[in-house]
Amino acid sequence: MAAAGAFLDSPGASFDDAVLGQGLPPLAEAALRDAGECRDDAPRAMAALMRAQALAPQHPAVLIALYRHHFYGHRLAPARDVARRALYIGAQALGLPEVWRQVPRQPLDGAKDNPRVRFYLFTLKGYAYLSLRMDDAVEARDALALLRHLDPDDCVGGALVEAVRQRALVDGSDDDDSAPAVFGAAAWARLAPA
C-alpha cells in the first residue's frame, strides 16, 4: 500500500483535513454524495461507495463512509474489514506499527483534539466493538486492552465497550442500567484490567 498521504490529490491537504472529509478528488466526493442520497437503496449506495473507493482507496472519508454503510446495514464482517484497513492507514499517518497488535502500549498524545489520533482511537474502538459483536472474544479483549493504554483518559469512550465485554463474561448480559455514569480515566479505573 502507498503511504498514508498518497490518497490526497490536493497538495496542501493533510491527513487531519482528510479525516474531516477534505482533500477528496471531486469525483470521489460526488460518489460519496450519491451514496448518501441513495442510502435507503443498499445496492445503489454500495455502487457509489465502490466508485469513491476506486478513486480514493485510502482516503479516511471513504473508509468512514464504507464502515458506516456496512455497520448500519448490520454487515459486521465487512465493517470490521474496513476497520482493519482504517487502522492500517491511521497507523501510517501516526508513524505507528502497521499491525495494531504491535503498537506500543503507551498513551497517544492528542486523544482529545488531534484528528489523526482520534481517527485511530475511534477506529480501534469500533474494531473492538465489532469483534465483540462477532463473538471474537480474544480480538475484542486485546483491542480494548490496547485502547486502554493508548487512551487512558477514555476520550473516545472505549471503557464503555470494555464494561459491556466484562459484564458479558460475568453474567452473559450486555445490559446494565444500574451502573453510574463515569467518564474519563475513572471509567477505566472502575474496570478490571483485561
In order along its 194 residues, the chain shows pLDDT tens digits of 334 444 444 444 577 666 656 678 899 999 999 999 998 999 999 999 999 999 999 899 999 999 999 999 999 999 999 999 999 999 999 999 999 999 999 999 999 999 999 999 999 999 999 999 999 999 999 999 999 999 999 999 999 999 999 988 887 665 555 455 667 888 888 887 76
Cα Rg of the chain, angstroms: 17
If residue 105 lies in a helix (H) or strand (E), which one and from where to where? none
What size, in residues, is the chain? 194
Q: Which DSSP category does 22 fall into?
A: -
If residue 10 lies in a helix (H) or strand (E), which one and from where to where? none
Q: What sign for the dihedral angle of Cα 161, 166, 168, 174?
A: negative
| Domain 4-189 indexed as CATH 3.40.50 | no
> Could you tell me the residue ranges of all domains in the chain?
4-189
Nearest to 2 by CA among 72, 43, 59, 78: 59
Q: What percent of the chain has pLDDT over 90?
A: 71
pLDDT digits (tens, 9 = 90+) for 108-117: 999 999 999 9
If residue 185 lies in a helix (H) or strand (E), which one and from where to where? helix 185-189
The set of cell numbers assigned to 145 is 486492552
Query: What 3-state DSSP class applies to 136?
Result: coil
Query: What 3-state DSSP class applies to 66?
Result: helix
